[in-house]
Amino acid sequence: MTLLALCATDHVPEGEARRIEAGGFDYAVYNLGGVFFVTQNLCTHGPGNLGEGFVEGDEIECDFHQGRFDIRTGQPTAPPCTEPLTVWDVTVRDGQVCIDPAAGRKTS
């Protein structure tokens, strides 16, 4: 497993999301109460950037059509989103939010 560092933990304030480009891919990094989560940045409905969306509880609201996803699972929770996001398990190492890029998964 090769870990990729996406950003420093203090780059993502609690209750917010950030769009991070790393290794040629756009990720969205979230901080929920000091616990970090990562999904794909691109909304599965269209061109919305989830890392620039609005965190509401455990959900991210897309800034494009206001669809929503569960940040922890990637499952869509509000229309018009119907397709899940790819999510990655996070390892925090040396103050960096890290993922294994090859280990992204979608729950159906």
Applying CB under 6 A, the residues found at the interface with ligand FES are 43, 45-48, 62, 64-65, 67, 80-81
Which residue number, 67 or 104, has a Cβ lying nearer to ligand FES?
Answer: 67
Least spacing, CB of residue 68 vs ligand FES, in Å: 8
CA separation for the pair 15, 53 (Å, rounded):
11
Least spacing, CB of residue 34 vs ligand FES, in Å: 27
CA separation for the pair 58, 30 (Å, rounded):
10
Which residue number, 46 or 95, has a Cβ lying nearer to ligand FES?
Answer: 46
CA separation for the pair 107, 92 (Å, rounded):
23
Which residue number, 69 or 98, has a Cβ lying nearer to ligand FES?
Answer: 69
CA separation for the pair 38, 19 (Å, rounded):
10
Least spacing, CB of residue 45 vs ligand FES, in Å: 4
Encoded tokens for 6: 């996406």
Which residue number, 46 or 57, has a Cβ lying nearer to ligand FES?
Answer: 46
67 to 1, 12, 90: CA distances (angstroms): 33, 22, 24
